[in-house]
Amino acid sequence: MLALVVSLFASTGAVDAVAAGDGGSTRVTVTNASVHLTPLGAGAAGGPPADFGTLAGYGNAVFLAQCLGGSGGHAPPALEIQLDRQRIPLTVPALDFSEGAPALWLGSETSGAAMLGDALRAAGVARVVRRVPAEVPAAFGALRFAPFILASAPDFAALQPAQRAAVEQAVAAGSTLVLATGEGGVDATLVQRWTGVTLGEAGHPGPAARAAVPRAVAQRQLSWTPESGAHPLLVADETPLIVEAPWGLGRVRVLAVALDELEPGTVASTAFGVPPDDRGAALSWLAAQPALPSDGEIPFSPWVWGTLIALAGLGLLSRRAPRVAAAGAVPLLGAALYLPPGGPPVVAEGARVLLVPVGEGALALGALDLRFGRGGAQTLDAGRLPVAIEDALPDGGCLLVAPDRAAWALHTAPGSGARVRFVTWMAQAPAAAGTADGHLPAAGTGRLSGAALERIEAAVELPLGAAAGRPTLEAWRVGAHPAPAPAPVVVSAPPSEAP
């Protein structure tokens, strides 16, 4: 988990940065300490910032930052915030889950934390981070690295719509949501829309359920629609204790008992058991993209060529007027080094996208190939899609996400190329051509293993602004990929309690 608390004070405002969500993102809060309306920008240090709107007097803005180092130990680019004409440095450490990504517990109360921790550790989940509902980010990129997201139904219902949408999108990106429904005050249709699981009335646990969860005081009746793909994982007294529903590349596990009633045993190991890798086939397909293009020639501008010719002319005159030539060569040489190349600052050469239909929308895994006409700090508009960074090659990069806009921050060499891999969420999935055009790798036990691909001919929105141009796009959509449901685990009552 990131441990970052930075407070920088200036005449026009303050910047506060703390670890957010599952620890893979940093929440940056910018406060305008003046009464005046103040422009806000952010991006790679030393370069033009991206426009993040304006701050009202004494107002604040919040966005999330994710950074990745590059190959060969490259550190991510330095960032800075611009308030009006003042630049404030911002340090965001590179994403590091070398000790394993923690589970994320969305809980307003700490009761039962010790027993829940024992149940998680017994199931193989070594780390857990708790966030109260008010602290849950409304951006899925800050939640998507958690292998498990835990919540009681009342705490889940307490989230704002944007926060619940972020959790749904994080599950679609590969997390597993464990939602406990044994508590009272639960909306019966809380998860029905996106899982097909309906929450019924709560009743007394049967003998087998009491044996499996001795501390349980109530058991929720769970039902589901077969077409949703939901299926029982664990059954006691001929009623399900856990129902699992697929959602994109992740899963939702609905528990019929309360979260703080779990203890080490069959129920906890089933609820927190690591599911098959549903992301592996998609990520393998994306990683099989052709190698990053080699560096190209630097397109010098006419000003640079004119400066070089002028320097050569002064060299010819130096025999007759050496002092004049030397005096004129210094500013001309400085101009030649300072003036940028004449080509565009950045050009998007190509993009490759794989869409995974999820409900009415789609999860998109993709890569952007960028070519830079000039070197140094680069801040690029990333559009308005919900987006998270997956990789940035070869020198690393950062992503800055606000509620209504995002920006890439990179540090590049003149004429160099870079590849940014990303994950986005689309509210509506573009239609496919309807004909199979290849398959995902047939490896592992995930639901997408060997799934058919359908080419998309329609335009697909990318996390890139118009300034970089429209890249050559190759887009596919995963076709239908039904997977057989596993047989549920059946928990029996002790002989003394059997009817």
- Residue found by looking up tokens 């239909």 in the block: 357
Helices (H), 137-289: 153-158, 161-172, 192-195, 207-212, 266-271, 280-287
- Residue 111: CB atoms within 10 Å: 10
Angle between helices 322-338 and 302-317 (to 10 degrees): 160
Separation CA 465–CA 398 (nearest Å): 16
Question: What's the confidence (pLDDT) of residue 1?
Answer: 32
Q: Which residue type is seen at 53? A: G
- For residue 338, the SS3 value is helix
| Residue 483 maps to a domain | no
- Do 190 and 253 belong together in one domain? yes
Please indicate, yes or no, whether residues 426 and 388 belong to a single structural domain of this protein. yes
Q: Are residues 381 and 355 in the same domain?
A: yes
Could you tell me the CATH number of the domain that includes residue 171? 3.40.50.880
pLDDT of the residue at 5:
32
Domain-embedded: residue 135: yes
Question: According to the model, what pLDDT value does residue 338 have?
Answer: 53
Burial code (b: 16+ CB inside 10 Å, e: under 16) for 228-255 equals: ebbbbbbbbbebbbbbbbbbbbbbbbbb
401 Rama sector, left if φ>0, alpha if ψ -120 to 50, beta otherwise: beta
Looking at 66, 90, 114, which one is the last position of a domain?
A: 90
**Pick from 90, 123, 154: which residue ends a domain?**
90
Give residue 334's pLDDT. Answer: 63
CA distances in angstroms from 419 to 312, 347, 358, 395, 396, listed in the order given: 39, 12, 26, 9, 9
28: which strand partners? 17, 63
Residue 334 lies in a domain: yes
In a structure prediction context, what are the per-residue pLDDT tens digits for the chain, which is 499 residues long?
333 333 333 345 689 999 999 999 999 999 998 898 999 999 999 888 999 999 998 999 999 999 999 877 788 999 999 998 889 999 898 988 877 889 999 988 776 777 888 888 888 888 899 999 999 999 999 999 999 999 999 999 999 999 999 999 999 999 999 999 998 777 777 888 888 899 998 899 999 999 999 999 999 999 998 888 899 999 999 999 999 999 999 999 999 999 989 989 999 999 999 998 888 888 888 888 777 655 554 555 555 566 667 666 666 666 556 666 666 666 666 655 555 554 567 888 899 999 999 988 999 999 999 988 777 888 999 999 999 999 998 889 999 999 989 999 998 877 788 899 999 999 888 887 777 778 898 877 788 888 999 999 888 999 999 888 888 898 999 987 777 778 888 888 777 654 5
Domain with residue 12: its CATH number is 2.60.40
151 domain-assigned:
yes
Q: For the CA atoms of 170, 175, 176, 180, what is the dihedral angle to 10 degrees?
A: -40
Same-domain pairing of 119 and 234: yes
Does one domain contain both 158 and 209?
A: yes
3-state secondary structure 234-250: EEECCEEEEEEEEECCE
Same domain? For 270 and 289 the reply is no
Quote the domain boundaries for residue 207.
Answer: 103-276
Question: Do residues 107 and 51 both lie within one domain?
Answer: no
Nearest-angstrom CA–CA distance, 176 and 247: 9
Tell me the three state secondary structure of residue 281: helix
Task: Kindly state whether residues 334 and 357 are assigned to the same domain.
Answer: no
Residue with tokens 């949703």: 228
In a domain, 496, yes or no: no
Specify whether 330 is located in the same domain as 356.
no
Write down the pLDDT at residue 183. Answer: 84
Considering the domain boundaries, does residue 97 fall inside one?
A: no
In this structure, is residue 96 part of a structural domain? Answer: no
Residues 288, 391, single domain; the answer is yes
**Among candidate residues 33, 58, 90, the one where a domain is terminated:** 90
Is 400 in contact with 64 (CB distance < 8 Å)?
A: yes
Please give the pLDDT value at position 337: 55
Q: Considering only CA atoms, which of 497, 488, 334, 363 is closest in space to residue 424?
A: 363
pLDDT confidence of residue 372: 84
State the pLDDT at residue 339. 52
Pair 324, 397 in one domain? no
Asked if residue 259 and residue 357 are part of one domain, the reply reads no
Residue 326: predicted pLDDT: 61
Range list of H helices, 16-151: 113-122
Report the domain count for the chain. Answer: 4
Within 8 A by CB and 6+ apart from 225, the residues are 196
* Any domain includes 491: no
Q: Compute φ and ψ for 28, nearest 5 degrees.
A: -110, 120
| DSSP code, position 335 | H
pTM, whole model, 2 decimals?
0.86
